[in-house]
């Protein structure tokens, strides 16, 4: 999922917003300003309804962010790296780079989200009581009550034992603990998610036929999302399991074409041997020790007048920014690193010496042999 706007970082975790969040914001804004608030507190200036609705919508999105941040922070405490958080049409996604190491960690990571939403619901509900006592019923009380109700509803919905919801993670942890098989546990949670999704679609279709078109269509969209995400999660888990049994050496291209570190950028960009074979090359010293990765894009960015005096070593991507697995490492562990790397390549090193290179195309080739519909493994919450 591509986000259109980055909101910065929270404790080292990048937060992104997908454009579809505008749909959620608009629906809540319009629904409260034109329906909920005027009915609960009539005879007020129109601008007050719109202002209260805008603030309430924003606080709700912040509540979603708190829910996802709790997943991410607890995941990190349990040794699971987090790439980013993206808020979008149906809530949020915390993208994790690896799996929980045991059922206990899975319970902690999945369970904290609903608990945070419940806590927020309780805070908003408790805050509404003194506000109502001091100022009586009004827009502020209605906004707090709505936020309390929606957060509690969010917690209860997410607690349903079906993937990809948090309750599905808890069900997965339980089955994993009982059977000892993470793959079997994922299959159970996947089936539960598909059943829930079809149930939501069925209820939505009934509501449309009964005349509640908006609510019905929303449930159909939500149900279809649950079905798709549950199915994808099951196939990804199976693929991760299989990739975990394959070594990096089985996917890499051995003896890749390299560029000596002393090569000038001018020679590199004009030599057809480099120019027309690949878009990136490992940079090595005289002992075939990897120094970095040079891409045609980085070389082309060097001013023409500076190219004869600039070596590729100076403008290459340093090893700190490139994945450098060992030939014997599990391929599944490399996939998230390739996903997050701008180079989309990994240099396979053995005691510092370059022995191979792995690209996203190599991963796709391996996954195409393992499944008829290859999908890159990605864990979301």
- Sequence ranges of the domains in the chain: 5-159, 182-243, 248-380
Which range, 136-145, 256-265, 327-336, 362-371, has the best average confidence (pLDDT)?
256-265
Q: How far is CA 13 from CA 64, 85, 128, in A?
A: 15, 7, 32
Residues facing 359 on adjacent strands: 345
289-299 pLDDT, tens digit per residue, is: 889 999 888 99
Q: What's the pLDDT score for residue 377?
A: 43
Q: What is the mean pLDDT of the chain?
A: 85
Is the C-alpha dihedral spanning 213, 154, 13, 320 positive or negative?
negative
Q: What's the pLDDT score for residue 371?
A: 59
Q: What's the pLDDT score for residue 4?
A: 60
Q: What's the pLDDT score for residue 188?
A: 93
3-state SS track over 208-263: HHHCCHHHHHHHHHHHHHHHHHHHHHHHHHHHHHHHCCCEHHHHCEECCCCEECCC
- State pTM to two decimals: 0.73
Crossing angle for the helix pair 139-158 and 46-77, nearest 10 degrees? Answer: 30
Largest CA distance in the chain: 82
Q: How far is CA 124 from CA 38, 56, 130, 154, in A?
A: 20, 11, 11, 14
CB-count exposure of residue 180 (10 Å: 0-12, 13-18, 19+): exposed
Which residue in 39, 68, 241, 250 is the catalytic one?
A: 68
Q: What's the pLDDT score for residue 197?
A: 92
**CATH number for the domain running over 248-380:** 3.10.580.10
> Among 92-96, 209-213, 304-308, which stretch is predicted with the lowest mean pLDDT?
92-96
Q: What's the pLDDT score for residue 85?
A: 83
Mean pLDDT computed over 140-149? 91
50-97 pLDDT, tens digit per residue, is: 999 999 999 998 998 899 899 989 988 888 878 778 887 666 777 776
* Whether residue 373 has pLDDT greater than 60: no
Pairing of strands 82-88, 13-17: parallel
> Among 130-134, 151-155, 157-161, 357-361, which stretch is predicted with the lowest mean pLDDT?
130-134
List CB contacts of 127: < 8 A, sequence separation 6 or more.
144
154-166 pLDDT, tens digit per residue, is: 899 989 998 888 8
pLDDT category, 374, cuts 50, 70, 90?
very low
Clarify whether 106 is annotated catalytic.
no
> Among 48-57, 166-175, 336-345, which stretch is predicted with the lowest mean pLDDT?
336-345
Mean pLDDT computed over 102-116? 92
pLDDT category, 321, cuts 50, 70, 90?
confident
């Amino acid at each position: 999922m591509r986000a259109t706007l980055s909101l910065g970082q929270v404790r080292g975790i990048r937060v992104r917003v997908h454009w579809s969040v505008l749909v959620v914001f608009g629906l809540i804004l319009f629904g409260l300003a034109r329906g909920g608030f005027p009915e609960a507190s009539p005879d007020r200036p129109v601008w007050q309804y719109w202002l209260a609705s805008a603030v309430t919508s924003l606080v709700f999105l912040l509540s979603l962010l708190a829910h996802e941040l709790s997943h991410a922070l607890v995941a990190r405490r349990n040794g699971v790296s987090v790439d980013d958080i993206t808020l979008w049409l149906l809530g949020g996604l915390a993208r994790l780079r690896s799996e929980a190491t045991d059922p206990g960690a899975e319970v902690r990571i999945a369970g904290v989200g609903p608990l945070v939403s419940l806590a927020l619901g309780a805070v908003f509900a408790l805050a509404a009581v003194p506000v109502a006592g001091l100022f009586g019923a009004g827009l502020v009380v209605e906004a707090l009550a709505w936020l309390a109700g929606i957060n509690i509803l969010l917690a209860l919905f997410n607690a349903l034992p079906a993937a990809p919801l948090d309750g599905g993670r808890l069900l997965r942890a339980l089955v994993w603990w009982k059977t000892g098989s993470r793959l079997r546990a994922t299959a159970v949670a996947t089936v539960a998610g598909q059943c829930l999704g079809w149930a939501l679609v069925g209820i939505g279709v009934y509501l449309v036929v009964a005349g509640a078109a908006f609510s019905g269509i929303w449930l159909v969209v939500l149900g279809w999302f649950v079905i798709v995400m549950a199915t994808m999660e099951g196939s990804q888990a199976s693929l991760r399991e299989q990739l975990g049994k394959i070594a990096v050496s089985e996917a890499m291209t051995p003896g890749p074409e390299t560029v000596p570190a002393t090569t000038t950028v001018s020679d590199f960009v004009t030599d057809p041997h480099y120019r027309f074979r690949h878009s990136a090359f490992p940079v090595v010293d005289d002992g075939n020790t990897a120094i970095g990765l040079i891409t045609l894009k980085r070389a082309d960015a060097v001013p023409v007048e500076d190219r004869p005096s600039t070596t590729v070593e100076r403008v290459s991507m340093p090893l700190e920014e490139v994945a450098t697995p060992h030939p014997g490492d599990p391929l599944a562990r490399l996939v998230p690193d390739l996903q997050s790397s701008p180079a989309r390549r990994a240099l396979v090193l053995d005691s510092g010496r370059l022995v191979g290179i792995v690209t996203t195309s190599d991963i796709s080739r391996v996954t195409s042999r393992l499944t008829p519909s290859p999908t890159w493994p990605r864990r979301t919450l």
